[in-house]
Amino acid sequence: MKEVRIGILGGGTVGGGLIDLIAQQRSVLERRIGVQIRIVAVADRSWQKKAHLQNQDFDVTDDPQGVIARNDIDIIVELVGGLEPARQWVLSALESGKSVVTANKALLANHGAEIFELARAKNCGIGFEAAVAGALPVIRNMRRVWVGSDIHEMFGILNGTCNFIITRMQKEGMPYEEALQIAQEKGFAEADPTFDVSGRDAAQKLAILSSLAFDHLVQEKDIKVEGITELSPLDHAMALRMGRVIRLLAVARKDGDGYLLRVHPALIAQDHLLASVEEENNALFTDDKYSGSTMIVGRGAGAFPTASAVLGDIAALARPASSPEVWLSSGKAVRASEDALYRFYLRFRTVDQAGVLASIAHELAVQEISIASMHQEEGPEPVDVVILTHDARESQLEKALTRINSLDIVHGPSVALRLEEPGRH
Amino acid sequence: MKEVRIGILGGGTVGGGLIDLIAQQRSVLERRIGVQIRIVAVADRSWQKKAHLQNQDFDVTDDPQGVIARNDIDIIVELVGGLEPARQWVLSALESGKSVVTANKALLANHGAEIFELARAKNCGIGFEAAVAGALPVIRNMRRVWVGSDIHEMFGILNGTCNFIITRMQKEGMPYEEALQIAQEKGFAEADPTFDVSGRDAAQKLAILSSLAFDHLVQEKDIKVEGITELSPLDHAMALRMGRVIRLLAVARKDGDGYLLRVHPALIAQDHLLASVEEENNALFTDDKYSGSTMIVGRGAGAFPTASAVLGDIAALARPASSPEVWLSSGKAVRASEDALYRFYLRFRTVDQAGVLASIAHELAVQEISIASMHQEEGPEPVDVVILTHDARESQLEKALTRINSLDIVHGPSVALRLEEPGRH
């Protein structure tokens, strides 16, 4: 199997996540991309203090330029962040003909032109999915799926810290300072939160996204930025009275022969999809002439989500061009479960007479299905009886329903709907 | 410039959209993917009746096998749909060494194994982003970004017809039949809606998605399916009373050493992201061990959205492996707009005395900013005055705010938030 050899600069949280992810999913990755990913070296100036950099089967060093210079490395993964020395390291890597994967939004938002130009000149790949909204595939989507797009506007919720603070203020009526403190306690905000709450972090991400959307260089300095520090509980209450909620939006819009580029707290309609983006989530809403309105939403940060995006970029650079395009290496079919536990919503149409509820409850009890609540609508016959069950087996419910539907007191087949709890398992 | 030559089978709505999209975005596409996409031939059995197939610079024929056999075609785009003869044509194309792009969910959900196996044997690419949820990048994301994923559950709203009917029932309290009729009038439902409302369409899409998520073949027949025809307005009302809404969900979940695979109407919490997916929108909510909970939402159908997904697949197959990875062909920076029209939400902290509102209103009037509504909170000084303006220029607002903030009656700087209307331009 072909091998792709990577060197990682920066062995912190995301670097550690990447090392774990590659180790945990090794066999899955080989099957899916047909390439073996091997970490050759990690450079980290305080590697001695990091447990996840001890006793590994790769070299660990405090010399990034040494890693960049190695001949047995194909891809440099830059996870150091900041402008310098990250800029020099990325340029050195490209200069030496290596492809680069980076999560560094500040670097691309300020020195994107220089870096992309060198990558082009050297015919090297450069991946930066992780620079914006972590695992959300916003970059890939714009670069690879919507290749024919004509995006006229984009709205991003690109900073999880701000969104957490804003939704806490909105839902609990608390002042900014209190919401910030909770964010800090939960690890969603830094001790010095300025970079996030001023809107700068979102502006750097918007610079990258709008460069891709509009095919022209947008830099951080092109974007007008306002932060969230002046918001008060009254603003949220008044917004609500107007049928709106406040979000820190990163906005890019075609405007004549130029572009409107803004990061600012704004009032949006309460029933808009973006208003449903709460807590530390990130989102990007895009309006494209061809693909229509689309939103991608999810967690924008964290070690594994960011590592997941970095890994996707590594795979894209590593995968042989001729690689067959589907993962299903085995034609083996899945085993589909026949039976499962669910809470059920049940509706029966019945006659309105004594003993009806008892008869239905009895048939459920026979199948060991326990009732959480019961409701009977008043009205002319047939009347509707609605029952919510506790967890019940599908197979047992089916037996009970067969019996109940055959009762004289029940008109027509009953309705059974499951309760689903997405994301709460 | 390298040229990629495509043959299209099926010149209907999506085919027409693809032809238009390639023509309209020709120069953008060349810049973005570094390849010229040339339509060589279109096969359509009733091409004579279709305006968009007349007087084009490609060949038009009613002989699909003739197109497949041509030596001057690299990629076959199958937009015919259905099982046969689409299956034979796709197999022939792969057999002849051509890559295939298809939007055919039925084909992949029932004959995926055969097709993927032949593609692998012939080392041909196969793209099928358009088979599920149109322009939403759900396939690409799973195949290319989350390569290290360990997805334990997925929830899809994969049928726009059903979602339209369900949300109409929910919001307007109308019976199923009435909502169906509106869907038919709006073109969201077929004259015979059985395939959609029975849940089969969603099941075919779920088969494709879960095959990718779980690396094993899932076929339509593995999925337990319930449709939406038995739902009543009472079910929606009762669900609401439980803090829930009803959606037709396609569910795939790891379950022991097997998989739970279902399409059924289910009750989900009203504040869940999936509950915000309304009307004809589609969505996929994924829970991955590494990238976390993510949702992609948007229009899942239509000529251009589907064509956009097909085009993304063509580009992925056409793009040279060594192609530099960034679109920014010019380092030219964008022109950022300095001034823009917005409705503003304004908040001032003022003393509570006669003439305050008049003074503020006067300064706004001087800058031709007209007031839509005004609200003053009762309470001890300083009091908050909130104003909503009609459209105003940022530059003029700034001038007015500078003046107002310098008034003795105003305490501290005022707050100005913009109203944004994402997707309503």
Is B116–A328 a contact, with Cβ atoms under 8 angstroms apart? yes
Burial A162-175 (b: 16+ CB within 10 A, else e): bbbbbbbbbeeebe
Is A235–B312 a contact, with Cβ atoms under 8 angstroms apart? no
Look up residue B380 and give its two tokens.
Answer: 């001890």
**pLDDT by residue (tens digit) across A55-93?**
999 999 999 999 999 999 999 999 999 999 999 999 999
Pairing type for strands A151-157 and A244-255 reads antiparallel
| Per-residue confidence (pLDDT) for residue A299, from 0 to 100 | 85
| Per-residue confidence (pLDDT) for residue A273, from 0 to 100 | 93
Confirm or reject contact between A61 and chain B (CB < 8 A): no
Best A150, A219, A306, A326 member to test B by mutation, with max B CBs in 10 Å, is A326
Look up residue A306 and give its two tokens.
Answer: 């960011």
Low-confidence ranges of chain B (pLDDT < 50): 322
The closest alpha carbon to B350, from B410, B297, B402, B307, belongs to: B410
Tell me how far CA of residue A173 lies from CA of A178, A281, B383, in angstroms: 10, 20, 18
Confirm or reject contact between A91 and chain B (CB < 8 A): no
Helix (H) or strand (E) holding A181: helix A176-185
| Exposure of B350 in the CB half-sphere (CA atoms within 13 A) | 25
Best B20, B33, B145, B224 member to test A by mutation, with max A CBs in 10 Å, is B145
Residues sharing a CB contact under 8 Å with residue A151, sequence separation 6 or more, in sequence order? A142, A213, A214, A286, A287, A288, A289
**pLDDT by residue (tens digit) across B256-293?**
888 999 999 999 999 999 999 999 999 999 999 999 99
B122 is catalytic: no
Strands (E), A310-365: 341-342, 344-350
Distance from CA of B311 to the nearest CA of A (A): 7
CA distance A281 to B53: 46
CA distance B59 to B68: 13
Is A252:A214 a contact under the CB 8 Å cutoff? Answer: yes
More confident site: B329 or A114: A114
Is A268:A206 a contact under the CB 8 Å cutoff? Answer: no
Exposed (0-12), middle (13-18) or buried (19+): which is B402, by Cβ within 10 Å? exposed
Confirm or reject contact between B23 and chain A (CB < 8 A): no
**pLDDT by residue (tens digit) across A29-48?**
988 888 899 999 999 999 99
CA distance B181 to B189: 8
Residue of chain A with shortest Cα separation from B312: A145
Rounded to the nearest angstrom, the gap between the alpha carbon of residue A24 and the centroid of all alpha carbons in its chain is 20
CA distance A98 to A118: 11
Q: Report, as an integer, the average pLDDT of A336-354.
A: 89
Is B144:A316 a contact under the CB 8 Å cutoff? Answer: yes
Least confident of A14-23, A247-256, A330-339, B268-277: A330-339
Best A234, A328, A384 member to test B by mutation, with max B CBs in 10 Å, is A328
Residues sharing a CB contact under 8 Å with residue A379, sequence separation 6 or more, in sequence order? none
Pairing type for strands B126-127 and B151-157 reads unpaired
At A341 the three-state DSSP class reads: strand
Confirm or reject contact between B374 and chain A (CB < 8 A): no
Residues sharing a CB contact under 8 Å with residue B55, sequence separation 6 or more, in sequence order? none
Look up residue A366 and give its two tokens.
Answer: 């026979």
| Per-residue confidence (pLDDT) for residue B380, from 0 to 100 | 83
CB atoms within 10 A of CB B377: 13
Is B290–A269 a contact, with Cβ atoms under 8 angstroms apart? no
Q: What is the SS3 assignment for chain B?
A: CEEEEEEEECCCHHHHHHHHHHHHCHHHHHHHHCEEEEEEEEECCCHHHCHHHCCCCCEEECCHHHHHHCCCCCEEEECCCCCCCHHHHHHHHHHCCCEEEECCHHHHHHHHHHHHHHHHHCCCCEECHHHCCCCCCHHHHHHHHCCCCCEEEEEEECCHHHHHHHHHHHHHCCCHHHHHHHHHHCCCCCCCCHHHHCCHHHHHHHHHHHHHHHCCECCHHHCEECCCCCCCHHHHHHHHHCCEEEEEEEEEEEECCEEEEEEEEEEEECCCHHHHCCCCEEEEEEEECCCEEEEEEEECCCHHHHHHHHHHHHHHHHCCCCCCCCCCCCCCECCECCCCEECEEEEEEECCCCCHHHHHHHHHHHCCCCEEEEEECCCCCCEEEEEEECCEEHHHHHHHHHHHHCCCCECCCCEEEEECCCCCC
Look up residue B276 and give its two tokens.
Answer: 């915000």
Q: What pLDDT band is residue A348 in, cutting at 50, 70 and 90?
A: very high
B contacts of A320 (beta carbons < 8 Å): 321
CA distance A108 to A117: 12
Distance from CA of B68 to the nearest CA of A (A): 20
Confirm or reject contact between A374 and chain B (CB < 8 A): no
Confirm or reject contact between A137 and chain B (CB < 8 A): yes
Look up residue A134 and give its two tokens.
Answer: 């972590």
Least confident of A176-180, A245-249, A328-332, A406-410: A328-332
Q: Is 80 exceeded by the pLDDT of residue A95? A: yes
| Per-residue confidence (pLDDT) for residue A73, from 0 to 100 | 97
Is B147–A315 a contact, with Cβ atoms under 8 angstroms apart? yes
Radius of gyration from C-alpha coordinates of chain A: 27
Residues sharing a CB contact under 8 Å with residue B154, sequence separation 6 or more, in sequence order? B209, B210, B213, B250, B251, B252, B253, B284, B285, B286, B287
Q: How many residues does chain B have?
A: 425
Of B307, B324, B327, the CB nearest to A123: B324
* Cα maximum dimension of chain B: 86
CA distance A246 to A241: 12
Distance from CA of B301 to the nearest CA of A (A): 9
Is A336–B261 a contact, with Cβ atoms under 8 angstroms apart? yes
Q: Dihedral of CA A326/A332/A338/A340: which sign?
A: negative
Is A245:A275 a contact under the CB 8 Å cutoff? Answer: yes
Phi, psi dihedral angles at B189 (to 5 degrees): -135, 145
Helix (H) or strand (E) holding A266: strand A258-269
Is A325–B126 a contact, with Cβ atoms under 8 angstroms apart? yes
DSSP bridge partners of B393? B341
Q: Report, as an integer, the average pLDDT of A203-226.
A: 93
Tell me how far CA of residue B197 lies from CA of A414, B81, B130, B179, in angstroms: 18, 19, 20, 12
A contacts of B143 (beta carbons < 8 Å): 325-327
Q: Report, as an integer, the average pLDDT of A222-228.
A: 95
Look up residue A150 and give its two tokens.
Answer: 């004509």
Q: Is 70 exceeded by the pLDDT of residue A123? A: yes
Q: Is 80 exceeded by the pLDDT of residue A330? A: no
Phi, psi dihedral angles at A130 (to 5 degrees): -75, -10
Exposed (0-12), middle (13-18) or buried (19+): which is A122, by Cβ within 10 Å? middle
| DSSP string for residues in A384-415 | EEEEEESSEEHHHHHHHHHHHHTSTTB-S--E
Is A269–B421 a contact, with Cβ atoms under 8 angstroms apart? yes
The closest alpha carbon to B393, from B425, B419, B367, belongs to: B367
Annotated catalytic residue within B49, B98, B171, B205: B205
The closest alpha carbon to A5, from A103, A76, A94, belongs to: A76
Q: What does the mean pLDDT of chain A come to? A: 92
Residue of chain A with shortest Cα separation from B342: A266
| Per-residue confidence (pLDDT) for residue B142, from 0 to 100 | 86
Of A146, A260, A316, the CB nearest to B144: A316
Against a cut of 0.90, is the pTM above it?
yes
Exposed (0-12), middle (13-18) or buried (19+): which is A330, by Cβ within 10 Å? exposed
DSSP bridge partners of B342? B392
Pairing type for strands B75-78 and B2-9 reads parallel
Q: What pLDDT band is residue A144 in, cutting at 50, 70 and 90?
A: confident
Q: Which of residues 204-243 of B touch A (CB under 8 A)?
A: 210-212, 214-219, 222-224, 230-232, 234-235, 238-239, 242
**All domains of chain A, ordered by start, with CATH?**
2-131 (3.40.50.720), 139-299 (3.30.360.10), 341-418 (3.30.70.260)
Confirm or reject contact between A352 and chain B (CB < 8 A): no
Confirm or reject contact between B20 and chain A (CB < 8 A): no
Q: Report, as an integer, the average pLDDT of A177-181.
A: 97
